[in-house]
Amino acid sequence: MVPKFLQKLKIQLHLQLQKSQLIQLVYKRKMIETMMITYTNQRKNRSEIGMTKKNGVRERTRGRILDENGNPLPREERKPKKKIACLIGYCGTGYHGMQLNPPHKTIEGDLFDAFVKSGAISRDNSNDLKKSSFQRAARTDKGVHASGNVISLKMIIEDPEVLSKINSHLPDQIRVWGMERVNKTFDCRKMCSSRIYEYLLPTYSLLPPKPTSPLGKQVTEAKIQFPGVARDDKEGQEWWDSVYTNLRENSISDEQIEIALNGLINNQEDTKIETETSKLIKRIKKLDNEFRRSYRISQERLQLLRDAMQQYIGHHNFHNYTLGKHFKDPSSNRYMKSITVSDPFVIEGTEWCSIKIHGQSFMLHQIRKMIAMATLVVRCGCPLDRISQAFGPDKINIPKAPALGLLLEQPVYEGYNSKLESFGYNPIEFTKYEKEMQDFKMKYIYDKIYKEESQENVFYGFFAFIDGFNGDHQIFSFLTAKGIEKLTKDELKEFEIPNEKKESNIEE
């Protein structure tokens, strides 16, 4: 005979099971009802948004261009579209970057508008880039320039005058150099085998730090401590001697120079109330800046920069030349194909040189850090192979050179061009547009870089900050005869350069 407590337990379990099943049924029913309501509402919305009544006939309007009254415009005659690679150039001043970003003014926004106005893109496809399979080879950010870039999309190219019509609807600071037919699967970003960037550098950036500055003192002290490691810089020493002579000729004594230097270190120039020290600092900086712009680089010093830049050629681990990468991260490895440094040229009293870097791919801030490292190694007199030592596992804090001098020269398709030719298409090359591109760069890109540097002393401010950095001496010890030393976590934090324009970056 079954005990009573077991019989009672059996009844309780049966009731609980029934209750549980009932709850599940109720929950399922509510879920089904909710899904049915949602589906009904979606059908209703689709009907309201995607259809309209005209003369009693329901007409599909989803994706259609509407007039000011909300009525769909009549469809245009469909014309055949071809996949095209457009070779373009632009000055980024006044634009919120390359990529379409409503409601901001962008390069792509003006390009797409010109395509529609010229008839290269139909009115029905004018409200969505995706309809034209739009792609860009490289994205540039606010205020950044490109003498050569590539976009790929489907276009109507029946009109033989379509290129001139497109350019007629563009502002002068945006140009379409040419258009080439490509196969349907062409993607201008993925098919790009390498990119060439250009960096414009004032040659006075290669002058050594002021001997009495914190960095100048570190260089001198390390040279005494580790003799035979650093280079002797007779040219740099003679230049600084001539600076002090020039200041004395302008009635500024050695004592006043020392007072001004102490004021700079203590940031007395930045005080809102103008003092005698702040006035003196401004006067000395003005004379120093004028004298600096009259500097003309020697062939020996220019060759040092060329030799320094050649250290980057080949396959290396650039983990120290970007942000957030570790030595063991495979993505830190990059391949530089070639680097050239031009002969110096003078623009409005300041001497410049052009550095062109051709690499397979680049990481965030990599080019700016490469330029900064090479420049600092030359100006501080440490061995040039300090650059290649930075490819090793030890972490160092390399500052970013100013973004002002950086521009995209052109993407390169040497790997994919042979495939295009096999399809019967022309290769994607900028060589036939070199003269037009050079004239464009001189008028719309170089002049703006020169003007901004002249007005704002961007490079002077950058190197003055590095030379006068009064933090832990270990941070820049890699630029002295001491060599690369192990840094703490705090010393490896990226430091901000005062007054640097954060928006002026480029997708590298």
Going by C-alpha positions, the residue among 195, 155, 197 that lies closest to residue 179 is 155
Cα–Cα dist 207/123, whole Å: 57
423 neighbors 181 (Cβ within 8 angstroms): no
The interaxial angle of helices 366-380 and 299-310, nearest 10 deg, is 140
Sign of CA dihedral 31, 37, 40, 42: negative
387 neighbors 336 (Cβ within 8 angstroms): no
The dihedral over CA atoms of 331, 332, 338, 344, expressed in degrees to the nearest 10, equals 140
Q: For residue 199, say whether it is annotated as part of any ligand binding site.
A: no
Report which DSSP code applies to 209.
P
Half-sphere exposure of 60 (CA within 13 A, CB side): 3
DSSP 398-424: PPPPPGGGEEEEEEE-HHHHHHHHHTT
Total Cβ atoms within 10 A of residue 148: 26
Sign of CA dihedral 326, 331, 335, 339: negative
Question: Annotated catalytic, 490?
Answer: no
- Map residue 114 onto helix, strand or coil: helix
| Paired sense of beta strands 314-317 and 146-155, if any | unpaired
Going by C-alpha positions, the residue among 82, 66, 49 that lies closest to residue 127 is 66
Going by C-alpha positions, the residue among 189, 208, 89 that lies closest to residue 416 is 189
Sign of CA dihedral 82, 120, 418, 508: negative
From 110, 141, 233, 288, the catalytic residue: 141
DSSP 439-497: HHIIIIIIHHHHHHHHHH-HHHHHHHHHHT--S-TTTTGGGSTT------TGGGSPPPP
> Which residue's structure tokens are 């489907």?
154
Q: What residues pair up with 54 in beta bridges, in sequence order?
A: 57
Cα–Cα dist 370/80, whole Å: 47
User: Which residues are known catalytic residues?
Assistant: 141
Known binding positions for substrate? 197
